[in-house]
Amino acid sequence: MRKIIVSPAVYKKFPDFVCGIVIVKDIQIAQKNKRIKKPLNKMIEQRKAEGQDLINHPYLKAWDEAHRRFGSDPEQHLPSIKSLLTRIMAGGGLPFINSVVTLFNYISIKYLVPCGGDDIKKISGNLCLDFATGDESFIGLGSAEVEHPEKGEVIYYDDMSKQIMCRRWNWRNAEFSKISDDTKEIVINVDGIEGIPTSVIIEARDELASLLQEHCAAILRTDLLTEHNQQIPLPD
């Protein structure tokens, strides 16, 4: 049975890391949904009104510090939530890629935490979070160029194909495992680090699960990765 696995080495360096997991077994994904887009736009306007100080929120600072601890510059390679907010503060909106990605963005902006997901059917082995050896391969979203991570970089990757789903923990997603309109099975992560209460991650995870059920007819279950629960089985 395949699993979602956080390496013990990650927990040795980041013992407070928690990851809210949503495993979707079946879902209906749409390219348009005004009922989803409206609350996202409202949340974007709310965050804009809070101004640039939001970039200095403790949750964002917590991820900046985590990135520095594994050797990544969070000003050059922005954690995903920081990237979303920077784009919003610059006056930009967020495109409606599909209903699931839009709900990811809504939850990220509302709770100020990284959130993402991958198509389980595209992953051949275990989905692992670990420090890169540098031999793994990565093709970024919208790209065709093969890259390799820096040694020691935190990556989500397929331990069978050695393909990376996300570089620098939550910086940039891959093309091969992206969620498309015909995706049916998804593993979703809502990430928390030292300085972000576990209760916030659980609340964000549960709201996302509820929204996926309401708007996308998702059949799913939830779980939580912690230092004391480092592996979760994936559906057959």
- The pLDDT score that the predictor gives to residue 94 is 84
Domain boundaries, the chain: 3-233
Residue that is written with structure tokens 């994904």 in the block: 29
> Residue 18 in 3-state DSSP?
strand
Res 188: pLDDT = 97
Average pLDDT over residues 138-161: 96
| For residue 93, pLDDT beyond 80 | no
Q: How far apart are CA 155 and CA 172, in angstroms?
A: 10
Query: Do 141 and 19 contact (CB within 8 A), yes or no?
Result: no
Note the residue count of the chain: 236
* Tokens read off for 20: 């809210």
Q: State the pLDDT at residue 151.
A: 97
What is the per-residue pLDDT for 20?
Answer: 98
Res. 92: pLDDT tops 80: no
Provide the 3-class DSSP secondary structure of residue 188: strand
Distance, CA of 138 to CA of 149 (rounded, Å):
8
Highest CATH level, class, for 3-233: alpha beta
Does residue 95 register a pLDDT over 90?
no
In the predicted model, is pLDDT for residue 222 greater than 90?
A: yes
Distance CA 79, CA 63 (A): 7
* Whether the predicted pLDDT of 52 surpasses 80: no
pTM for the model stands at 0.96
Could you tell me which of 86, 87, 80, 88 has the C-alpha nearest to residue 189? 80
φ, ψ at 135 (rounded to 5°): -90, -10
Task: State the pLDDT at residue 235.
Answer: 79
Q: What is the model's pLDDT at position 96? A: 85
